[in-house]
């Protein structure tokens, strides 16, 4: 027996001059009004991107047409949307987000592979061996997030040739006096920690394995004061920073009772 089935669904679109041009993944998680506001603020010509659609009937424009329209649109609308959404969100009673009256935040980096084609490779180069380049172009991404909620507070990215500290320094203007910054060993540089301290924020950073601190003054809780040494500067000598050192051995017990140190 031959039968025909019809599947009906409701498609929600925004009201106003930009409807029905809300395409892709963005407006599945971001409010229509916020996207419209970003487009209007950046004076983006959104109808150029959706001119080929006409109605709500799905139409698949050629990929090169979308790519060219995206380049004309530029990064400004997405930047405005990100800045409107980014920020800390936890109330003071949120587990894992506050400690001793300070909002706990963390900074860390990752790498993302990019398409192996121009003009991407003009800015984001591939990794190089002694004789050959290999793999894909790589983008370095550094984010500042709120612990407990994983809310993104700020982000910076660029070519992998620049180290994590270069991008992390760009995020320091989002720190404040009631924050405790958590970071891994790659962020224990004297200049970076000095700049963190200048924001009024506190920091707790894991030291590198190769650092053997000299004990300056022992404190009642077993920790002690020591000094981090920075790079040498002509006429200034070595930059020094006094820090409190907490020596700890952390053991994590997983659900299967397996332990990891």
CA 35 from chain centre, in angstroms, equals: 20
Strands 224-233, 217-218: pairing kind: antiparallel
The more confidently predicted of residues 176 and 14 is 176
Rounded CA-CA distance 69/54 in Å is 16
> What is the model's pLDDT at position 4?
60
DSSP 100: T
pLDDT tens digit sequence for 196-227: 999 999 999 998 877 888 899 999 999 999 98
Instruction: Specify the pTM.
Output: 0.73
């Amino acid at each position: 027996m031959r039968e025909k089935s019809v599947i009906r669904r409701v498609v929600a679109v925004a009201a106003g001059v930009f409807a029905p041009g809300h395409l892709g993944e963005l407006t599945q998680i971001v409010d229509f009004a916020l996207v419209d506001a970003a487009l209007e603020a950046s004076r983006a010509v959104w109808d150029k991107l959706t001119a080929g659609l006409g109605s709500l009937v799905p139409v698949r424009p050629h990929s090169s047409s979308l790519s060219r329209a995206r380049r004309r649109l530029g990064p400004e609308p997405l930047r405005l949307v990100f800045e409107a959404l980014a920020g800390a969100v936890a109330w003071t009673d949120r587990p894992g987000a506050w400690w001793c009256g300070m909002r706990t935040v963390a900074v860390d980096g990752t790498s993302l592979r990019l398409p192996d084609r121009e003009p991407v490779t003009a800015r984001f180069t591939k990794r190089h061996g002694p004789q050959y380049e290999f793999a894909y172009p790589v983008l370095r991404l550094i984010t500042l997030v709120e612990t407990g909620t994983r809310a993104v507070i700020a982000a910076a990215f660029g070519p992998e040739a620049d180290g994590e500290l270069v991008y992390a320094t760009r995020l320091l203007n989002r720190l404040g006096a009631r924050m405790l910054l958590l970071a891994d060993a790659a962020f224990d540089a004297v200049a970076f920690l000095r700049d963190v301290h200048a924001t009024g924020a506190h920091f707790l950073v894991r030291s590198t394995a190769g650092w053997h601190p000299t004990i300056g003054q022992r404190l009642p809780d077993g920790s002690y004061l020591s000094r981090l040494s920075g790079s040498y500067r002509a006429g200034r000598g070595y930059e020094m920073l006094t820090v409190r050192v907490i020596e700890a051995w952390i053991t994590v017990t997983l659900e299967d009772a397996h332990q990891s140190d």
